[in-house]
Amino acid sequence: MTSLLVLERPRSYGVDVVNQDGLWKKVIGDLFKDFLLFFAPDLHGEVDFFKTPDFLQQELFKELLDNKKGTNHADQIVKVHMKDGKEKWILVHIEVEGSADADFPKRMFRYFYRIFDKFEREIVAFAVMTGPGKIERPLGFTYSYFGTTLNYAYNVHKVSDYDAADLVQSNRLFSKVLLAAKYFHQTENKADQRYRFKQKLMREVLKLEGHSRESITAVFYFIDYLLRLPEEMTRQLTETMLAELREEREKMVQHDSDDLSSTLAEFMAIETQAALELGIEQGIEQGSENSKKDFALALLNENFEVDYIAKLTGLSVIEIEKLKKVI
């Protein structure tokens, strides 16, 4: 297992502007094992993922990045336990704009020496550039002054260097995250094209085998939020994918109904409306306690969340949990 520290708390996904740094932080946190398998399979093979995660407090690292400004990049520090019993520290830096500035190598070195100086741990550093453009300048940090020389190199991965066709064929889960990042830039201001890419990618992810439902759900959420669509297109996409979403609902990890991604929020709205109409057809009157319970039972049979049912019916969570035991 890994212990992961998010250096900046990710903001809610439910925002009008795509919060790329928050999305990348969360998807790496949710899929760190898959991240490592995709970018560093040799290192992945040496990590003992059976060890219990040890989540570190954010405040411990606050001073490490005290000069960081803006939201152009996202960072993770991960402590992993190796199969030989040793601990390693992994620094993951995501440059979400993809166009590394002149100070980028120096910033990567600064992260390294601050962590090393404070904690004296062996560190593996990754820089992932998510933008569409090519970066020609060297990304290692070099210092030389009157005989004092320093060369600092780190792992660099550019999303633009990966072939889309290869990512489509790959069964590794993080390949779909990179595909979404590619589509994000390719479909900017091209809603129709984004709709087609998003629908195809979502269906591919839902059909993937050999991965946990938690992992599948994490990728699905990343795609849904990164590839935002106009409201009408979101509704159309949801209606087109109703069959897949209904099939997946029983397997997917439940999320807070107040923070659903756009497609799933629209799906829940459609399902709720259908349940309400079913209740009306059956002559359910909301003022009756028995009718409320009947309605709650109908929603439980459709696998709605307990908290969500409580909001719709006015029944307490405890009452609904009792009804759930009856089922």
Residue (of 87, 24, 27, 21) closest to 53 by Cα position:
87
Residue (of 159, 82, 150) closest to 113 by Cα position:
150
Residue spans of the domains in the chain: they are: 1-161, 163-260, 262-326
pTM, two decimals, is: 0.74
CA 154 – CA 273 distance, rounded (Å): 52
CA 237 – CA 248 distance, rounded (Å): 16
CA 312 – CA 276 distance, rounded (Å): 9
pLDDT, position 39: 94
On whether the CB atoms of residues 115 and 121 are closer than 8 A, the answer is yes
pLDDT in tens, the chain (327 residues): 333 333 333 333 333 466 787 888 888 888 989 999 999 999 999 999 898 555 454 545 555 555 554 445 567 778 888 899 888 878 777 776 555 567 888 888 988 888 888 778 788 888 888 888 776 666 789 999 999 999 999 998 989 899 999 999 998 999 999 999 999 989 988 999 999 999 999 999 988 888 888 888 889 889 998 999 998 898 898 888 888 887 777 666 555 445 567 777 777 777 666 666 665 555 444 445 566 777 778 778 777 778 877 877 778 888 888 888 776
pLDDT, position 9: 31
pLDDT, position 118: 79
Question: How would you classify residue 85: left for phi > 0, otherwise alpha for psi between -120 and 50, otherwise beta?
Answer: left
Residue (of 93, 128, 96) closest to 107 by Cα position:
93
N-terminal to C-terminal alpha carbon distance within the chain: 36
DSSP state of 160: G
CA 327 – CA 323 distance, rounded (Å): 7
